[in-house]
Every structure is written in C-alpha cells, then in structure tokens.
Structure 1
Amino acid sequence: MANKPSIILAPVDGSEGSGASAAYAADLAAALKVPLRLLYAFPKDPVDMFGVPTEAPTPKQLEYFSPDAFARLRDESAREAFDRARKVMGETEAEVEETVVPGSPAEAIIEHADEAGDPLIVIGSRGLSGLREMMLGSVSHRVLHHANCPVTVVR
C-alpha cells in the first residue's frame, strides 16, 4: 500500500455501528481527498440466503426464489442500508459511491478489497462481549484478520 489509501471502503448494514463507521470513513476520506465506497453485502442467490429447503418453504420464502423478487429484495435492503449510513454521515466533501457486493459479508468485503487497488477498510464493530465474540464470531473480526489491506474497526 502507498502512503495513503487510494480508496476507503466502508461496509454498511443499516446498524448503528455501521453508521458510525461510515461517518468516520467519510471524514477520513474527505481529509485524505480519496473516494469513499459504501459496501453492502447481500447473498448471491436465494439458496445462499435461505439454504436448500428441507421442508415446504413458506409462501414468503418461495416468493424470493423468483429472480425478480430476489433482486428487488436485494435492492430495497441495500437502499435502506445506504440511506441510513448517509443520514448518519451527513454532508461530506468526500466523493461517495455505493456498491452491492454478492456473497457472505466478510468474504465479499475481503474479495472486493482485493480488487480495489490500495484500499483502507473502515468497519463497525457490533461490540459483542469477548465470549460471545469468540462463540459467534463477527464480520469485523474476520475482515480484520483476513483482509490483505489495512483495516480500522470503529466502536
């Protein structure tokens, strides 16, 4: 990585923690005069999201097995997460992009970062206790330990 990142990646999921990390990332991007890319990870397909049904799927689940309905769910979910992040970020001088990345969150974020040049990932922490973190894991923990670029975790 060069002296400064070429882009800041801020994964968002609509949570309070991701909003705080997006606001921090926006301030940092403006100060460094680099673009900020908000990332929203969403499953690749309905099977990735719901699994292979072992019982008769509910009508709601069955609805999302339609490619159009699944795409609508993805787009609506992403829009909600991006809007919440932008609300917390407020006005910013940073150039802000929005990108939906397919797959499970940690893996999708890491893969996207690998293709982004010299990124810095700024990610929120859920703030789990040590034991719960160890048992459940977290996206921020996996990204921190497996990304091939600098990662800042915002609490």
Structure 2
Amino acid sequence: MTATAPKTLLVPVDGSEGAIKALRFAVGLGKATGAAVDMLYAFPRNAYELFGTPAEYATQEHLRYMDPEAFGKLRDDNAKKVFAAMRKALGDDASGIRDQILLEGDPGEAVIKHADAADAPMIIVGSRGISRVRGLLIGSVSQRLAEHAHCPVTVVR
C-alpha cells in the first residue's frame, strides 16, 4: 500500500472545545496542503436512538419527537446550530471549510462510513481529554475512530 497525501480532511464536530481545536488544526492543514475541509455532524436516526428509553417511560417531550417530521426538525435545527457555532468560533478561518455534512446514526460508525466513501480522506477529531481507562469504560468517538477507521486519523488535544 502506498501512502498518499489526504485530499479531504473530515472533522466531526459537536460544538465542544475539542471539536473547535480539531477544526482549527484541519483548516490550517488544509491551507498548507490544498486538502478540502468538511465538517461532519452525526445525529441519531430517530427518537428511539436519541432518547434510548422505552415508550412507556418517555416524557411528553420525548413523545413529541416520535413524529418523524418533528424529529427531522429537531435534527436539522441542532445541525444548523452546531455548524454555525463552529463557523463563529473560527471567525475568518471559517472560509477554509468546504462543506458541512449531516450524518445519521452513531457518530463513530457514521464518520467511518462517510470516510470510506470519501476521496483520500483523513479524519481530524478533537480529544475529550479523558484517561484511556475512563475512555474504555464509557467509550470515546475519537478512540473508536483511531482504532477502526480505514484512513489516517489525527486526534487533536
């Protein structure tokens, strides 16, 4: 296998400080290498995935989002807020972002699936800054990506 320079830098974002650091790093790397920078935001496929509670224990607020149209609006509104917050945090550097892409499902799985279809991708993800032991216990998107992605992954601290 021959190593190639990445053409697409994929940055999973969630509005956190770690995601902002990763996006800043990716934009700088993109400017230096000519690689495109895409922001990715993953949201559950449906209300059951989002709330993780059986219907008999759901609150009225949860039940409201069982309607596919209401859930779609919740998903789209959340994505818009996160993408806008990330662009605002970057200021003028936000011009280095090519695209913002809404993914569905578990964040780790959705990002890996998207990366598998991308042109020479590299994933750049923020670290939550948790210990390896704690990460094993509660899970971490950055850890999952680093271990299971089929392309280079950079974890930014």
Same fold (TM over 0.5): yes
Following superposition, the deviation at residue 60 of structure 1 comes to 0.3
> Match of 1:69?
70
Deviations 1:54-108 (A, max 9, x none): 5242110011111111111111111121122112222235242000011100000
> Match of 1:129?
131
**Ranges of 4+ aligned residues in structure 1 off by more than 3 Å:** none
Question: 5+ residue gaps in structure 1?
Answer: none
> Match of 2:80?
79
Q: Name the SS of the counterpart of 1:3 in structure 2.
A: coil
Q: Name the SS of the counterpart of 1:69 in structure 2.
A: helix
Within a 5 Å distance, the mapping from 1:36-75 to structure 2 comes to 36-51=37-52, 53=54, 55-75=56-76
- Tell me the TM-score normalised to structure 2 length: 0.91
* Aligned mates of 1:56, 1:138 — CA distance in 2: 27
Decide whether the 8 Å contact of 1:11 with 1:109 is kept in 2. yes
Decide whether the 8 Å contact of 1:34 with 1:95 is kept in 2. no
Deviations 1:85-137 (A, max 9, x none): 11222223524200001110000000000011210100000001232112112
Following superposition, the deviation at residue 51 of structure 1 comes to 3.2
> Match of 1:94?
96
Q: Name the SS of the counterpart of 1:55 in structure 2.
A: helix
> Match of 1:19?
20
Decide whether the 8 Å contact of 2:4 with 2:120 is kept in 1. no
* Aligned mates of 2:39, 2:55 — CA distance in 1: 35
Structure having the larger proportion of residues in helix: 2
Within a 5 Å distance, the mapping from 1:24-39 to structure 2 comes to 24-39=25-40
Identity among equivalent positions (%) equals 43
Decide whether the 8 Å contact of 1:23 with 1:88 is kept in 2. no
Decide whether the 8 Å contact of 1:120 with 1:151 is kept in 2. yes
* Aligned mates of 2:62, 2:145 — CA distance in 1: 30
Q: Name the SS of the counterpart of 2:56 in structure 1.
A: coil
